[in-house]
Structure 1
Amino acid sequence: MERKLFLKNGLAALGLAAIAPLANACKKNTDGSTDTTTTTSGTDSTGGTSSTTCSTTPTETAGPFPTITPSSLVKSNIVGDRTGVAFTIKIYIKNKNASCAALAGAIVDIWHCDKDGYYSEYGGTSMQTVDYTSVHFLRGRQTTDSNGLVTFTSIFPGWYTSRATHIHVHVYNSSGTSLLVTQIAFPEGSSSAVYLVNTTGSSYGYTKGMTGYTYNSSDTVFTDDSSGLETATCTGNLSGGYTLAHTINVSA
């Protein structure tokens, strides 16, 4: 599928309009605490060390396929009619301006492509030839709980030319004011979920393999993510499904 890459920050504002063991396939930890921090003796909900200082998650482009009317898609199960490897998405929102405490009441929109690399709400153009303009799969909105957590039920995203596997996220405060548009990257490597799903998941419909795949290091959105603030943790296996956990730090 042909894709026209957008400049990294140019459209951020538009977010408003029989194999080796598979368990623990993705191991990169990203609790968002990459600055010099003062830590407590416990751990936070994501399994990372709690801290009172954190770095704001980088802003990224919402385009070229942002959700057209996010408020109409308040739901946690975003699968729709799509098929693929079962996937649970857990996103924690923290407030950098409140000692990195959990941000309750934040509105979180997510969207990602299906196993074949296609987005709903768009299509019939050179950018995406298959027309999915009348459907709304793999898009949803939830409000964070007291732990700053939203959870979505989905299918593992596929990939398309020029982009690594990723999830788009737009975070608003409880009043609907935009706080951050960003993207989530996936760990890579021969034991990662990205590799295993695409190379051993043909029975689930993943037939592309990794030939022509754009890795994070070559993806123009993620090339500067040296701190790992945009890379999630992913655990699980093909038959049981995968779970992604990721913390996003905003200034609220």
Structure 2
Amino acid sequence: MERNEFLKRGFSSLLGLAVLTACKNNVVVDPTTGGTTAGTGSTNGNSASNCAVTPSETEGPFPTKVPANFVRQDIRADRTGVVTTMAITIKNGAAGCAPLAGAFVDVWHCDKDGYYSEYGGSGMQSLNLTNVDFLRGRQITDASGLVNFTTIFPGWYSGRAPHVHVHVFNAAGKSLLVTQIAFPYAVTNVVYTTAQASGYTKGTQDTTNERDNVFNDGYANELGTVTGSVSGGYSLTHTIVVNA
């Protein structure tokens, strides 16, 4: 089965509308002048009154095979691209959105060219990367429910909007939630159209969040807050609410 058939891709004929929608909540400054790009994400989990559990999503066709092998904060390995930090906070919706300490948080995403480690050599991903393990990591939440990762800005592949996969377990190893983090279009468009020197040469993504087969049913609680610039790097912050 071809990868694009598996993902049920669709070309984004409503790209202009998506740009207008994104710009309502994002501020973009021309990066050629040294400015920054910023995308405002979800406010979910900010209080007990705004504490809906984050939507569950598929692990996708490329989940981490043995997450316990990748207890590391810097998950870049040999991958190059625009440096990006991720600060992910886990909160417990069953306890008034209190921070969830001691939880395992696994993350993984594709590289700047749209490829995943640990997989390949098949119709799902032609490039064989079965012997490498970049852009996969695990951390344990602190007393504030926070984990941090250093990575690169994810690329994109046909049929999917840019995203990061997240799997949250409690301290006993019980699975609590599999979800994904979406990116503001205003930010991704800047990276993909101006960061050629960092290797982003594919141009603008072919699928927006609104047309994505994972996010198109609503991604308000999955949208990360992203700030920074191509030259200085980006920071993603996001809160995920689970029932623990």
TM-score (norm 2): 0.86
Counterpart pick for 1:131 among 122, 128, 132: 128
AA matched with 2:190 = L
* Residues in 1 aligned to 2:170 and 2:62: alpha-carbon distance in whole angstroms: 22
Match of 1:103 in 2: 100
Match of 1:50 in 2: 47
* Residues in 1 aligned to 2:66 and 2:6: alpha-carbon distance in whole angstroms: 23
Match of 2:222 in 1: 230
* Residues in 1 aligned to 2:122 and 2:73: alpha-carbon distance in whole angstroms: 29
Counterpart pick for 1:19 among 32, 40, 65: 32
Match of 2:195 in 1: 201
* Residues in 1 aligned to 2:5 and 2:105: alpha-carbon distance in whole angstroms: 26
SS at match of 1:114: coil
* Residues in 2 aligned to 1:97 and 1:232: alpha-carbon distance in whole angstroms: 22
AA matched with 1:19 = T
AA matched with 1:92 = T
Match of 1:79 in 2: 76
Per-residue deviation at 1:19? 2.5
* Residues in 1 aligned to 2:106 and 2:63: alpha-carbon distance in whole angstroms: 10
Per-residue deviation at 1:30? 1.4
- Answer yes or no: is 1:241 the counterpart of 2:233: yes
AA matched with 1:221 = V
Match of 2:183 in 1: 186
Structure 2 gaps of 5+ residues are 9-30
Counterpart pick for 1:175 among 160, 172, 176: 172
Structure 1 gaps of 5+ residues are 8-17, 34-48
- Answer yes or no: is 1:215 the counterpart of 2:176: no
Query: What whole-Å deviation, never above 9, does each CA across 1:6-50 have from its counterpart, x for those lacking one?
Result: 69xxxxxxxxxx625542x233231315xxxxxxxxxxxxxxx53
* Residues in 2 aligned to 1:117 and 1:147: alpha-carbon distance in whole angstroms: 32
Q: Alignment length, in residue pairs?
A: 221
User: Superposition RMSD on alpha carbons, in Å?
Assistant: 1.7
More helix by share: 2
SS at match of 1:26: strand
AA matched with 2:189 = Y
* Residues in 2 aligned to 1:239 and 1:21: alpha-carbon distance in whole angstroms: 8
**Percent pairwise identity:** 53
Match of 1:61 in 2: 58
TM-score (norm 1): 0.84
8 Å contact from structure 1 (residues 198, 209) kept in 2: yes
Change (3 A) 1:4 1:76: farther
SS at match of 1:223: coil
Query: What whole-Å deviation, never above 9, does each CA across 1:67-98 have from its counterpart, x for those lacking one?
Result: 00001111010000000000101100000011
* Residues in 1 aligned to 2:129 and 2:137: alpha-carbon distance in whole angstroms: 16
SS at match of 2:236: strand
Match of 2:43 in 1: 31
Change (3 A) 1:22 1:4: farther
